[in-house]
Amino acid sequence: MANTAFIGLGSNLGDKLKNCLEAIELIREIPGCDLGAKSGFYRTTPVGVEGQDWYVNGVISLRTVLPAHDLLNWLLGIEKRMGRVRKDKWDPRTIDLDILLFGQTVINHEDLTIPHPFMHLRRFVLVPMVQLAPDSIHPVLGKTMSWLLENFSDDGQTVTELEGK
């Protein structure tokens, strides 16, 4: 049975937009996955850290027959292939690939939490999610992506769409 997964993409090292586009091309090659829609890309301020360069963020949707953990392993492999080194949790990264939603599945494992535990607290996730799936329901909060964004507190998270991307 296929599920629709939403994947968050982010980069704040090197050619950030190129990194995100390259990751999408590599995701296209994952067996059992079909790329769906792609949001615009956004220049965003780092959240939760000081002194880092701005990010490029976006979201894609996939139809996949893979179990969520298998998809995660493929995404981690792409991150590694693209030069991501995981030392500290909030370090700068060439690419960050997060499973935001996986159908209406809720997973709470040591290595995987779906829905992504911070997605409703990140404007850089909600803006592209609303672009792709405004009526998609957060399976834990029971609210649409549109509702979550409309009720987001203004906390200084700047999200600006990149022109022509």
Residue 155 is among the residues annotated as catalytic for this protein: no
The active-site residue, picked from 34, 81, 88, 98, is 98
Q: Which two tokens stand for residue 72?
A: 């995660």
The active-site residue, picked from 28, 34, 43, 84, is 84
The active-site residue, picked from 53, 63, 93, 155, is 93
Distance CA(132)–CA(40), nearest Å, equals 9
Distance CA(64)–CA(161), nearest Å, equals 28
Residue 84 is among the residues annotated as catalytic for this protein: yes
Residue 86 is among the residues annotated as catalytic for this protein: no
Residue 93 is among the residues annotated as catalytic for this protein: yes
CA atoms within 13 A on the CB side of 86: 9
Choose among 98, 75, 82, 78: nearest CA to 8: 98
The active-site residue, picked from 34, 70, 96, 122, is 96
Residues classed as catalytic: 84, 93, 96, 98
